[in-house]
Structure formats: C-alpha cells, structure tokens
Amino acid sequence: MNAQQTLLPLRPIAPDLGFVLDDVLAQRTAITAFVREAPVRNVFLVACGGSLMDLYPAQFLLETKAGVPAFILNADEFNFREPTQLGEGSLVVCVSATGSSREVVAAAKAARKSGARVASVVKEGRTSLTLESSTAFTFSSSKMVSIVAAMQTLSLLIAQAVVEYTEPAGKHVETHIAYDALPNAIESALVECDEHLKNVAEALADEPIMFSLGGGPNYGAAYGFALCFVLEMQWKYGIPFNANEFLHGAMEVTTNDTPALLLIGEDATRPSAERTKAFLEAHTSRAHFIDTQELTLPGVPAGARGDVSALVLGALTVRLAEHYEATTGHHLDIRRYMFRVDY
C-alpha cells in the first residue's frame, strides 16, 4: 500500500449468508415444478457481467450431466444473434441482480416471444425482468458475498432440476445433501480461508496487472474476479484465462515476478488446474492458489464436493475483493462510467 492510500475497514464476513441461502434452497420444490411443466429441449443461460459469470457452474452441470444442449451467452449477444435453436421447448435462464439490466430484460422478452419459457433469477420485488419472465426465483440481500452465492445457487438448482427431469428418483441424493450443507459449508470456508485471502490481497492488490485463472465451473469465478473486482471495482488490470488455455500461449509472458491467482476446485477438471499450478510454481514466485480441497466444507459428502466447490470459490473471490478494498483503500462501489454516463 502506498503512502497516499486511505485504509478502509474490512467488511464483516457475509452476516446474512445463512439466511439468504436457506431461503434460496427452500425454492427447490418450486424450481422442480416449473422445470417439469413442459419438456426441455435446450437451455440458454443469459446475463451480463458478474451475473453471467455466476452462471458458469450451472453451465458446467448441464454440459456434463444433462441430456439436452446448453448455451451460455451475454444478453446482447443473445439478442443480436437470434439463436436458431431458440423456441418451443427452450428454457431460458435470465439473471440480473437488480432485474433492470436492459439487455437481460430484452432477452427475456425476445425469448418469450419465440415460445420459450423464461426463469429469471433476481432480487425480490417487481422488476422489469420479472414482468418479462414466465417465473422468477428470488433472493434478498445487499451483501456481495450473499448476492453472488444466491445467484449461483439458484441457477445451479435450475440446472439440477433439468438434469433430474428424466432420471430415476434418488440418483442425486448426495448432491442434494451437499446443497443442504451449502450455507454452513460456505460460511465455514470464508472463516477458514480469511487469513489466506488477506495475505493474497496484500500480495496482489497493489499490482497494476495480474492473471486470474480457473477451469471448468471455476472459470466463471476467475473471470468474474478479474472483470468485476479487479478491473471494474479496483481500476487495475486483471487478465482472466481458462486454466488450461493459459498453457497454450499466454504462459510465454510468465516470468519469476508475474503475479497470478489460480482457483482450484474438486470437479472433473481438477487435473487440468493441477497441471497449471505445477507450471506456475516452477516459473513464478508470485503465484497464489485458492484450493477448496484444503477446506473442511462441513456436511458436504466426499463424493459431492465437486458439485459445490465452484460455489465456494465464487464466495471466496468476493471476500478476496473485500480484502482488496481494505488493503488499497479503493471502495468497491466507486465507478467512473457504470451507472454514471450513457453507454
């Protein structure tokens, strides 16, 4: 931290997280009922910015376990591309924390016009997005960790309902036990990892540029950390990479003092992340790692840790951003352009 920076107090650890996620998980029956109202031919996951990044765990689940195609798109890309596979039988999941992102609202409207069903994930209340949706699954919080955890969990539960649409009852018992354990598991992870996150922030927060890496369902958290927290909220250069794709060219700029953060979960793509970790450990002394395998995650069955580890990493990267704020003195809510000028 330089001499001109003003310290900001570290925010408390997600004081409402347990209540928020309990309310989210209580919506599983309604989510399942909505998904089963009609056959699902394909799924489109649509949002912008941080909300789009929160959809990557759901996309991974759909791609690896559902029997229908799944697509993830920026909302305006969705609007202008007009996907040919969109229509009757499509389930479109639109996510916007405020429910007012105009591109997402337009996407929901276009999707319903095509004959698709639209499930929105949004804060509680009557919003432009909910008015254009077939149904809405909601949460209530103003805390960043809780908002991200709620949006990721709700979209993942929708994806889980799609996966289970044609499968025998009881096949996903461990996964649902893991979901039930999420409030306590994420709270525990935040406490267990907090000192480590503080150390990472102190090591990286003053860097003008850093790499943020993750693979599989964890790519969303890595991309979101670089895009939303480092670039948008700290005005520094965060460069996101898929952990494996980094090894196909981008690694050439790595030197002994290259700052990097690698997120490692417990899903099927973990070996790829471990390969990237080995490279970073060999070629830079400035690499930092957040690995869910080092965390307790109480209540999560061993065989289902990979089903929820991406959500844990999502929450931890938000907490890391809060440590950045306390380290740099640059408030996370300050913007130059967003919400301030026409764009």
CATH of the domain at 219: 3.40.50.10490
| 335 in a structural domain | no
What is the arrangement of strands in the sheet containing 42-47, beginning at the earlier edge strand?
70-74, 42-47, 90-95, 117-123, 135-139
- How does pLDDT run across 233-264, given as a tens digit for each residue? 999 999 999 999 999 999 999 999 999 999 99
| 334 in a structural domain | no
- pTM for this structure? 0.96
Based on the fold, state whether residues 141 and 183 are members of the same structural domain.
Answer: no
* Domain interval for residue 138: 17-171
Q: Are strands 287-291 and 260-264 parallel, antiparallel or unpaired?
A: parallel
Q: What local confidence, expressed as pLDDT, does residue 3 receive?
A: 43
Q: Report helix, strand or coil for 118.
A: strand
Based on the fold, state whether residues 41 and 166 are members of the same structural domain.
Answer: yes
| 318 in a structural domain | yes
Q: pLDDT class for 94, splitting at 50, 70, 90?
A: very high
Q: Report helix, strand or coil for 185.
A: helix
Residue 278: how many other CB atoms lie within 10 Å: 10
C-alpha to C-alpha distance for 188 and 18, rounded to whole angstroms: 11
Based on the fold, state whether residues 51 and 93 are members of the same structural domain.
Answer: yes
C-alpha to C-alpha distance for 222 and 241, rounded to whole angstroms: 8
C-alpha to C-alpha distance for 313 and 297, rounded to whole angstroms: 12
Domain boundary among 171, 195, 230: 171
Based on the fold, state whether residues 80 and 211 are members of the same structural domain.
Answer: no
Residue 339 has pLDDT above 90, yes or no: no
Question: Which residues 6+ apart lie within 8 Å of 32 measured at CB?
Answer: 161, 164
Based on the fold, state whether residues 321 and 180 are members of the same structural domain.
Answer: yes
| 117 in a structural domain | yes
DSSP 230-258: IIIHH-SEEEEEETTGGGTTGGGG--TT-
- How does pLDDT run across 99-146, given as a tens digit for each residue? 999 999 999 999 999 999 999 999 988 899 999 999 999 999 999 999
Domain boundary among 156, 171, 186: 171
Structurally, the chain folds into a number of domains equal to: 2
Segment (H or E) for 32:
helix 28-35
Which whole number is the average pLDDT over 38-52?
Answer: 97
Based on the fold, state whether residues 198 and 321 are members of the same structural domain.
Answer: yes
Identify the burial level of 7 via C-beta atoms within 10 angstroms of its C-beta, where 0-12 means exposed, 13-18 middle and 19 or more buried. exposed
